[in-house]
Structure 1
Amino acid sequence: MVSSTSTAQTSERCADLFRALDEHTGAAVDLRRRLHAEPRLSGEERDTTATLMDAMGFTDGLFPKGGAVLRVGDPDGPSIGLRAELDALPVRETTDVEWRSHSGAMHACGHDVHMAATVALVRALRDVGAPLPLVVVLQPREETVPSGAQDIALSSTFADHDIRAFLGAHVQPTLPRGCFSASPGPVNAAADQFAIEVRGRPGHAAYPHLTADPVVAAADLVGSLQHLVSRQVDPTHPTVLTVGSISGGNSPNVVPATVRMRGILRTFDEHDRVRLHRAIEETTRSVTDVHGCDSLVEVTLGAPVLVNDKALAASATGWLQRAGLSPAPPLRSCGADDFSYYCTLVPSLMVFVGVGSENGDDPGLHHPDFLPPDESVGDVARAMLAGYLAARDTVADRAA
């Protein structure tokens, strides 16, 4: 039985952690602005890693494939993991703040906020003491395939730390600032990329009967691929298929030899995922055959479905409210995040933290004007601490 004295001491320690976190928020906001002004694209995050390690007082812990894995607290025993993404997007920023990026890269997905909040949390844990060791994963290449999460999750480094629960927090402009969503179950989709090459017979545009036109075949194929979702998937299963890129030819008077298409498939159901991979290939072959063309299809597997642990979500909801955040309706989207690789290994939780304004017309994620307010650094840091305390509770319960 836990004594009332022990409970009171634990409660006071948690309160000390939140107070220490607030004390570090100002410096974290300054760091966020510095990170925002100096973004690094996927695979180029060495400078960002060094900046964060210096801010947290680490001199070693670099991961061989980029980023770092850093431990706060006891060097041995069970631990809790926390992910912070390092990379920016190839987006040219159009905000007007003094600390905007001028490099053609941009933190248009809030990773600058996540990193700064992580630093504040680490500093607070060092000030007060970590009830359970925290393993901070500074993860590269969240925005690309293959992802950094897959490298780290499957590494011996990850296994060596005996991580019993894993946490992430992500800003979300569709939620009002001060709100959170920590729903159990699937919250983000699996996302797989596909590339299609349609190969025809080139020739003069005045003699189409002597050609096999890959442009016409590709145009027909776009519509046929959309029908896969509308007619071959249960309408209650969220699914999105998008053809985002088509290229072929360079003259209005020439039927080209090839057209290349690229797209993405987002699914929540593994059966749908496998079935649609096959259907994309079969439909491509059928449509291009009708037009007298050949085709080549390549599907590249991306991150799996992101599934929040039920017990972690329940425990975190209480802690998030104690941290001063308000619950929002459950948020699930066909967005994807390679955080899902950690979810396949240990009980994990992704918390969405609102950064939207009251009028609700804010620029969305990946938009060149996306710019969460400075106050969101503190909100995300408190959400991370709340998730950490919830994980401590669930790890203890599972060990009992």
Structure 2
Amino acid sequence: MKISQDAALVAHMTKWRRHLHAHPETAFEEVATSDYVRDLLESFGLQVHQGIAKTGVVATLTNGDGPAIALRADMDALDMVEHTNVPHRSTHDGKMHGCGHDGHMAMLLGAAKYLSENRHFNGTVHFVFQPAEENEGGGRVMVEEGLFDKFPAQAVFGMHNWPELPAGVMATKPGPLMAACDTIEIKITGQGCHGAMPHLGRDPVVIASELILALQTISSRIVNPQDAVVVSVTQINAGHTWNVIPEDVVLRGTVRSFRPEVRETLQSSIKRIVKGVCEAHGASFDLTYNAGYPATVNDPEQTEVCARAAIKTVGEDKVDLNPVSSMGAEDFAYMLEAKPGCYVWLGTGGTPGGCLLHNPGFDFNDGVLHIGTSYWINLVEEILGSDR
């Protein structure tokens, strides 16, 4: 199924997408967004439930007897100032849809509308509109609040626009597609003194510098070179003036990996290195290691199904079944821990300005709305089709 020639539906999706872009709301504050999505879903004749994970929306469409599946789109925007000049630019200062979640909602809404009018399937489809994907773990909250107890599903599926791929190319693969994401905060306490008399203190800045370099040996000398990992110190906070060695330094950073056992190695190695470097210099430390999103791991069987749907949508030559996994993280991972499923990327390269995700100049490429919606329709009919 390809809806590129359904001009009316494409026009509707473009209108919805641009309205959502102009009215961004951030994590767990998607109140107007939730109501807008609810109103549209109800107008399609679907049963709609609001309130799971505060602002989440789930709509259910059942046609005959058959399995149940869940399709998910995220709803939240980012705390960013938009730098585009498009007519539908953000009307909320300091907030923007810089990750394309407006497009994700529009594509899933388009699929819901089409499937409500063309029920070439037997079974149930749950359309899940999830809040707070950006850093706040709305997917985890939905699962914890009983998403799959209230809306039983045999499998769950997600999709994200991907500007790094050419427009219309789709990509997925079994196993880890996106990384686990943890954070670290390290406070090193030495002994402050005059900057001209460093021998009278214990300089935490020098200790922090040595520690930053030592942490890089985790990826180069501790973890198997075939296991991709990232340990990035992204903040160094110390001191208030040019001639005083401070009492302490605070380091913060991000830790990324794909496999659980590697994730455990990273955590234990960081603790050991921090302890060793600080004790060697007579400094004390306080390490906070926060486990964030798990890796996004696709189920092999469900990935095969998604690959077939993608090929039906864009053609075999435009489906990459062995993309390089991303070190970015995604809280759809929590849903994949609860149910088998698959996450795919939809290429949107060629957007105005050529911006990547989380860029203040980003705007979703409306030219692929029909592709994403066609994929959802093909996936539903692949799994639940009456001729299966």
- TM superposition score normalised by structure 1: 0.88
Greater Cα shift, 291-300 or 57-66 = 57-66
Do the aligned residues in 2 keep the contact of 1:175 with 1:328 (CA within 8 Å)? Answer: no
Structure 1 letter corresponding to 2:33: T
* DSSP 3-state at the match of 1:299: strand
Shift of 1:182: 2.3
For residues 141-180 of structure 1, the aligned pairs below 5 Å read 141-145=132-136, 147-180=137-170
- Rounded Cα–Cα distance in structure 1 between residues aligned with 2:28 and 2:309: 35
Residue aligning to 1:181: 171
Query: Counterpart amino acid of 1:56?
Result: L
- Stretches of structure 2 lacking an aligned partner (at least 5 in a row): none
What amino acid maps onto 1:92 in structure 2? V
Query: How far is the alpha carbon of 1:329 from its aligned partner?
Result: 5.3
3-state DSSP of counterpart to 1:96:
coil
> 1:73, CA displacement in angstroms?
2.1
**Is contact 1:172–1:352 with CA below 8 Å preserved after alignment?**
yes
Conservation of the 8 A alpha-carbon contact between 1:189 and 1:335: yes
Moved more, 55-64 or 233-242: 55-64
Q: What's the CA shift for 1:319?
A: 2.1
Match of 1:32 in 2: 17
TM-aligned CA deviation for residue 115 of structure 1: 0.7
User: What letter is aligned with 2:123?
Assistant: L
Picking from 41, 65, 88, the partner of 2:77 is: 88
Aligned to 1:65: 54
For 2:190 and 2:382, how far apart are their aligned partners in 1?
A: 58
Task: State how far apart, in whole Å, the 2-side matches of 1:21 and 1:160 are.
Answer: 34
Contact in 2 for aligned 1:244/1:263 (Cα 8 Å):
yes
CA contact (8 A) 2:48 2:59 kept: no
Q: 1:187, 1:307 within 8 Å by CA — same for their partners in 2? A: yes
Q: 1:303 to 1:115 in 2, by over 3 A?
A: same
1:134 is displaced (CA, Å) by 1.4
Aligned-partner residue type, residue 366 of structure 1: H
In the alignment, is the contact (CA less than 8 A) between 2:4 and 2:370 conserved in 1? no
Q: Where in structure 2 are the equivalents of 1:98-137 lying within 5 Å?
A: 98-101=87-90, 103-129=93-119, 131-137=122-128
Name the CA shift for 1:137/1:20 in 2 (closer, same or farther; >3 Å): farther
Q: Is 2:223 the counterpart of 1:238?
A: no
Query: What residue number does 2:380 align with?
Result: 388
Shift of 1:22: 6.1
Q: Does 2:33 align with 1:48?
A: yes
Supply the distance in 2 between the matched residues of 1:132 and 1:75 (Cα, whole angstroms). Answer: 6
Contact 2:307/2:321 (<8 A) preserved: no
Aligned equivalents of 1:87, 1:221: Cα separation in 2: 36
Q: Does 1:347 align with 2:340?
A: yes
Q: 1:311 to 1:340 in 2, by over 3 A?
A: same
SS class of match (1:91): coil
Q: Does 1:205 align with 2:198?
A: no
Shift of residue 21 of structure 1? 7.0
| Counterparts of 2:208 and 2:376, CA distance in 1 | 46
Corresponding residue of 1:371: 363
Q: TM-score, normalised by structure 2?
A: 0.90
Please, which runs of 5 or more residues in structure 1 have no aligned partner?
1-14
Distance across 2 between alignment mates of 1:396 and 1:258: 68
Contact 2:176–2:297 under 8 Å retained in 1? yes
Question: 1 CA distance for matches of 2:5 and 2:138?
Answer: 31
> How far off is 1:154 after superposition?
2.9
CA spacing shift, 1:201–1:239, aligned 2, 3 Å: same
Matched, 1:335 2:328: yes
What is the identity percentage for the equivalent residue pairs of Structure 1 and Structure 2? Answer: 31
Does 2:204 align with 1:214?
Answer: yes
Distance change >3 Å, CA 158–CA 266, structure 1 → 2: same
Q: Per-residue deviation at 1:19?
A: 8.0
- Name the structure 1 match of 2:130: 139
* Paired residues of 2:67 and 2:123 also in contact (CA < 8 A): yes
2:150 counterpart letter in structure 1: D
Deviation at 1:368, TM superposition (A): 1.7
Query: What CA distance in whole angstroms lies between the structure 2 residues aligned with 1:73 and 1:290?
Result: 65
For residues 381 and 65 of structure 2, what CA distance do their matches in structure 1 show? Answer: 19
Q: Find the residue that maps to 2:216 and give its secondary structure.
A: helix
- Deviation per CA, 1:319-340, whole angstroms, max 9, x where unpaired? 2222235213522211111111
Change (3 A) 1:156 1:329: closer
The Cα of 1:149 is off from its aligned counterpart by 0.8
Q: 1:392 to 1:214 in 2, by over 3 A?
A: farther
Q: How big is the alpha-carbon RMSD for the aligned residues of Structure 1 and Structure 2? A: 2.5
Deviations 1:78-137 (A, max 9, x none): 421111111112222222212122522221111111011111111112112353211122
CA contact (8 A) 1:353 1:383 kept: no
Distance, in Å, in 1 between the alignment partners of 2:378 and 2:300 is 16
Answer yes or no: is the 8 Å Cα contact 1:197–1:296 preserved in 2: yes
Residue number in structure 2 paired with 1:3: none
Q: What aligned pairs does 1:319-330 form with structure 2 within 5 A after superposition?
A: 319-325=309-315, 326-328=318-320, 330=322
